[in-house]
Amino acid sequence: MHKIALFYFSGTGNTWWASEELTRLLREKGAAAEAFSIEKITPGEAGILIKEASIAGFGYPIYGSDLPQPVKNFILGLPAAKNKKCFVFCTQWLWSGDGARTGAGFLRPKGFDVRWGEHFLMPLNVCVPVLPFFLFTNDRTKIDAVLGRASLRIERFAAKIVSGQPFRRGFNPVSFSLGCMQRVPYRIVYSRLQDDISVDRERCTSCGLCTRLCPSGNLAFDGKAFSTRGNCYLCLRCYNFCPVSAIKYMHRQHNLRRGEPYRGPVKDFNPGILCARGTELLTHMPGQFC
């Protein structure tokens, strides 16, 4: 029987959902599979689980055809994997070119034998005013339809992993070149984008949810004032889940007339389950997180 340990990062819930779905389907096919948020586990602890597993897995959202910074840090911190079989997948709204292959590029130097790679199309989590609003939807019917299609692809991926049939989407020179067209400019502007979050003090109720959810410790609140450290990972958790939409990106906040920002793939999704601080502190109430 395969023993599978899957490690994921998820900003706003899509990759968490895909990881849970994949784990469920792997179990249905007879594997012993478990998913771990990298925000709740150290690379050293993950190294022990990887050693015990027959297959390791890695999942992350695509940011500009690249991996989120915490995923890069996590992989770089892992101990050597000595040819451990592994799969890698990314969740994306539309397109990344070579999103899974980019992750493999970090895993192979660690000794991982990347046999499977896949891209899952998920709802767009970006509803900041720098993108046209019509691209983003918070309509549950449309979101459920996207999840239904993603689930079918996840099922096919699980079947390939369990049967041992190698499959690597986007591991070719054309996809690599297309991915570079987005990744290279993204990496150039990345450090500038890391300091674009701010808080609207008029709207803010000082609940502190954003500071508890932030995976990078970018947001701090000393009881009187908010400060940012310029090390945002761009995950949009604070922006999307602020109960009063007080978080600003590039000095602009979510337009509440457009409805709620993207708050996860399933109704009543609680962002606190993604991170250690959130799990302890959040009690979920529909439409309100604190």
Q: Pick the binder of ligand FMN from 23, 37, 125, 175 (CB under 6 A).
A: 125
Please identify, among the stretches 86-94, 130-138, 161-169, 198-206, the one whose residues bind ligand FMN according to the rule CB under 6 A.
Answer: 86-94
Q: Are strands 85-92 and 55-61 parallel, antiparallel or unpaired?
A: parallel
Indicate whether 15 belongs to the interface with ligand FMN (CB under 6 A). yes
Angle at 164 between CA 81 and CA 46, to 5 degrees: 30
Minimum distance, C-beta of residue 106 to ligand FMN, in the bound complex (Å): 17
Q: Residue 79 in 3-state DSSP?
A: coil
Indicate whether 95 belongs to the interface with ligand FMN (CB under 6 A). yes
Indicate whether 129 belongs to the interface with ligand FMN (CB under 6 A). no
- Report DSSP state, residue 80: P
User: Which x/- pattern, by CB under 6 A, does the window 160-199 give for ligand FMN?
Assistant: ----------------------x-----------------
Q: Pick the binder of ligand FMN from 41, 49, 124, 180 (CB under 6 A).
A: 124
Minimum distance, C-beta of residue 111 to ligand FMN, in the bound complex (Å): 26
- The amino acid sitting at 1 is M
Q: Pick the binder of ligand FMN from 93, 133, 171, 176 (CB under 6 A).
A: 93
Q: Pick the binder of ligand FMN from 23, 37, 65, 270 (CB under 6 A).
A: 65
What are phi and psi for residue 84, nearest 5 degrees? -65, 130
**Measuring CA to CA, how many Å separate 144 from each of 20, 118, 122, 141, 265?**
16, 20, 10, 5, 8
Minimum distance, C-beta of residue 60 to ligand FMN, in the bound complex (Å): 8
- Report DSSP state, residue 136: -
Please report where in the chains the tokens 């992993």 appear, as a residue. Answer: 161
Tokens of 67: 């991996």
Indicate whether 37 belongs to the interface with ligand FMN (CB under 6 A). no
Indicate whether 57 belongs to the interface with ligand FMN (CB under 6 A). no
Minimum distance, C-beta of residue 4 to ligand FMN, in the bound complex (Å): 20
40, 29 Cβ separation under 8 angstroms: no
Indicate whether 218 belongs to the interface with ligand FMN (CB under 6 A). no
Nearer residue to ligand FMN within complex by CB, 95 or 176: 95
Q: Residue 251 in 3-state DSSP?
A: coil
Tokens of 60: 């992350």
- Report DSSP state, residue 11: S
Q: Pick the binder of ligand FMN from 4, 35, 81, 122 (CB under 6 A).
A: 122
- Nearest CA among 58, 59, 2, 57 for reference residue 29: 2
Nearer residue to ligand FMN within complex by CB, 86 or 235: 235
Q: Pick the binder of ligand FMN from 43, 47, 64, 77 (CB under 6 A).
A: 64
What are phi and psi for residue 205, nearest 5 degrees? -105, 5
The answer for residues whose C-beta is within 8 angstroms of residue 241's C-beta and 6 or more apart is 12, 209, 210, 213, 261, 263, 271, 289
Minimum distance, C-beta of residue 77 to ligand FMN, in the bound complex (Å): 20
Nearer residue to ligand FMN within complex by CB, 110 or 263: 263
Distance from C-alpha of 278 to C-alpha of 11, rounded to nearest angstrom: 13
Binding interface with ligand FMN (CB under 6 A): 10-15, 61-65, 91-96, 122, 124-126, 182, 234-236
